[in-house]
Structure 1
Amino acid sequence: MDIIKEIEIKGFKSIENQTLNLGQLNIFIGTNGAGKSNFLEALAMISASAEGGIDYKKLSSRGARLSSPEILRSSFRNVERKNYFELAIKMQDFYYNFKLNTNKESLSYFSEKLLKNNKKIAGRSRAGATLFKESIPKITQNRSIISIIQNYEGSHNNIINKLSEFAIFSPSTPILRGVASDNSFQEPLGLYGGGLAKALTDILNNNSRHELQRFFHLLDWFQSIGVTDQINTDIAPEQSILGNILVTYKDKFMKTNFNDLYAYDVSEGALYILFVLVLLIHENTPDIFAVDNIDNTLNPGLVRELMNQIVDILKKHPEKQVFLTTHNPTALDSIDLFDPNHRLFVVARNEAGKTEFKQIKPPQGTTKEEWEEKYYGLKLSEIWLSGAIGGLPKGF
């Protein structure tokens, strides 16, 4: 599978030095401010570099917060602060590493290295840059070595392109309703909920429309979903409707001559669930992506059921890799800690304020039956709330 297998983060925001082994489905739990979003933004940094260089425009298009360059470097009491941070990933047979200098105004590459099967494809340092062992003209300090590699044929281009499409999605209810704009301009789905009607149209017109039946397993009071450009202005809300089309729903409990609902009529949960499903099944959405706060707007039972659908979709699409953050314990109940494709990480700050990631997994050699016996058959949500795995405020 062309997924990120490992990530190394050194000196980035609250993360001083952490290495994570990743799976296809990765879930991060922890208190507010523990560093979950910092991890996602480290991935956004790597993705931007894969596109050709790290700048605010590329970071914004991936859903990262646009902090001052200096904020990106770790700062801890009684620890010497370096002038750079370092990020690296392993993906299939490839390893990509870079160090980035930061100052008050800009970011610039200190070093880069791209390996395949432990053999260098390209690199840069103070001594210069090389590509396939040949020296190349000096490239600007804010342009990555990847920008040159992309001009050459090779299997590494597929990996790089897949990595460069990574984005962090955080849907907003007004944008999902069609009454506010999504300034991310991401296609086919905006990072904050834009483009849902158009993306849904694509699915309804292709062979993946059967996957939308999952929606009705989650919200069974709807008879159908669709898209319309015939908006009834007599009952439209006071806000301006953006775009020419809207998502529509039919409620099976309403009178058949008055059961059409627009996106601005239905619950925010119905919009959010549809967005997540479209994100997962649309053929042109990123293969590698994150959803920050997957439990957003949802009842705990719906969170659990949505996670069941996500797990099932990922089984059918091994090319996809998903990173989810959550504060809702029921999001964990679909995770199988004995499945090598699933990863659960507890994120916490240590006594020095440094973010640490603890992967929750059964002791080596433990069977699923032995694990269940140890915790008396409790669900992962119940184990989390018991305090046994951490990720809760002190004194909870």
Structure 2
Amino acid sequence: MIQQVSFTNFKSLRRVDAGLGRFMVIVGPNGSGKTSILDGLHYLAQATRWPLAGLMRGVFAPSNLKSRGSSGPIQLVATGSFHDVTAEVRIIVEGRDDLNGNASWRGTVVRRWGDAVEETSEAEEGWQLVKSSDPQPTPRPGGKKDVLRTHGLPEMAELAKELGSARKLRLDIEALAAASYSDEELPRLDTDGSGLASVLADAAARTPEVFQSIQEAARQVIPTLERIRTRRAKVQRQERQEITIDGEEAIQRSVDRFYWGQQLVLDFKGAPDVPAPLASEGTLLVIGLLTALWMEPRPRLLLLDDIDKALHPRAQEELVTQIRKILEMTPELQVIATSHSPYLLDHFDAQDVLLTALLPDGSTACARLADHPDFDRWKSTTRSGELWSFVGEDWVAQQASAAQEHG
């Protein structure tokens, strides 16, 4: 698992170092860098499989990711141990302005697996690969235009296996509830929850024991839930069609096509046959999260934004319990989540709670809850959520500012 991360000049993370455990929760005010930490981890994990240029483009271009007013390169580093092998992933992105004020960028990814080290570099010019030890890339699964990075060193395949499957979920209620259709052999849940009905229908038919595990775990979190099922539903999809008239140049147009897909249906105590769009937000979020954790291929690193969203405090406790059960069965899994709930924190050790706070210059400071100066005095009588509610995050910013003054 990843044990240590370091971020420099990445979004609000100008100088942030943090230790990580197998199941950690990040808390702090809105806009204090919690999601940025998840984003940074996701970039590092994905850089073990995909070209950097395919990850940092469009709105996610380096010019938008660089800390405002900072100097020096963007740098993200993750180190950890996987099956007793020490590994590291490092991303360095440097930019400069030409005489016309246009920014250009060059990125380097360094991957280490044990004693094997590989470095690839990419430059602006549309972020085309300019130097790499990679052989000819292979198409990305699903037929998308991005390419899968293959590595010259066989050890890098092991690193990609451990981290390349990382997933960052930001589940959306409408996406979770929507009827879905998949022409893939193995339907997969998208990061926003799209495709949930197709994934569950496939699981019920192909791996009924996994489907039952998801259903039973969801029942524990949502006691009124009795049954999860799917039924056939018509799904509208917009597709591109190419038309050629009298040998002229082909014309592209959008057409709506209809397919028979799946609709998620839930049975509750006293309320059977509830279509997913009429179910509660918390119920759908729980089912989506548990599906992501149970379905193969399981991620080795799961990043969750707002894990407590729309959940009653008792449901938060039970969700943590279910995730811990999955962690026990899946020793290679690591879960990092953000939260705003002191009730959820009560079920975590203070060592596994990371606090974020904003410094006067708008950058992020972070520290573990157990790093509070008076933690030893309170640890035997105060739960993590209670302690966080009492001490807040101001001390994190004060501690970081003092370190800067003496640094």
| Alignment partners' CA distance in 2, 1:291 and 1:227 | 25
Aligned to 2:368: 359
Aligned to 1:41: 39
| Alignment partners' CA distance in 2, 1:18 and 1:331 | 24
| Alignment partners' CA distance in 1, 2:10 and 2:231 | 46
Higher helix share: 2
Once the two structures are TM-superposed, the CA of residue 48 in structure 1 deviates from its matched residue by 3.4
Aligned to 2:119: 123
Aligned to 2:334: 321
What does 1:260-299 align with in structure 2 at a 5 Å threshold?
Answer: 260-299=273-312
What does 1:27-66 align with in structure 2 at a 5 Å threshold?
Answer: 27-55=25-53, 58=55, 66=59
Task: Structure 1: give runs of 5+ residues left out of the alignment.
Answer: 127-139, 232-239
Change beyond 3 A, Cα 1:147–1:34: farther
Aligned to 2:71: 81
Q: 343, 367, 381: which is aligned to 1:377?
A: 381
Once the two structures are TM-superposed, the CA of residue 107 in structure 1 deviates from its matched residue by 4.2
TM-score, with structure 2 as normaliser: 0.73
Cα distance per residue 1:243-275 (max 9 Å; x no partner): 610111122324xxxx21111221121111100
Cα distance per residue 1:286-317 (max 9 Å; x no partner): 22121111122222332232122212221221
Letter in 1 for 2:44: I
Q: 88, 101, 109: which is aligned to 1:95?
A: 88
Give SS of 1:352's match: coil
Give SS of 1:318's match: coil
Higher strand share: 2
| Alignment partners' CA distance in 1, 2:258 and 2:32 | 38
Give the alignment's Cα RMSD to 1 decimal. 3.6
Change beyond 3 A, Cα 1:69–1:224: same
TM-score, with structure 1 as normaliser: 0.75
What does 1:218-257 align with in structure 2 at a 5 Å threshold?
Answer: 218-229=221-232, 244-254=261-271
Aligned to 1:21: 19
Task: Structure 2: give runs of 5+ residues left out of the alignment.
Answer: 97-101, 136-148, 235-256, 399-407
2:358 is equivalent to residue 349 of structure 1: yes
| Alignment partners' CA distance in 2, 1:180 and 1:230 | 8
Change beyond 3 A, Cα 1:362–1:229: same
Q: 47, 65, 74: which is aligned to 1:72?
A: 65
| Alignment partners' CA distance in 2, 1:289 and 1:345 | 16
Equivalent residues, number: 344
Change beyond 3 A, Cα 1:351–1:31: same
Seq. identity, %: 19
Letter in 2 for 1:98: I
Contact 1:29 1:326 in 2 (8 A): yes
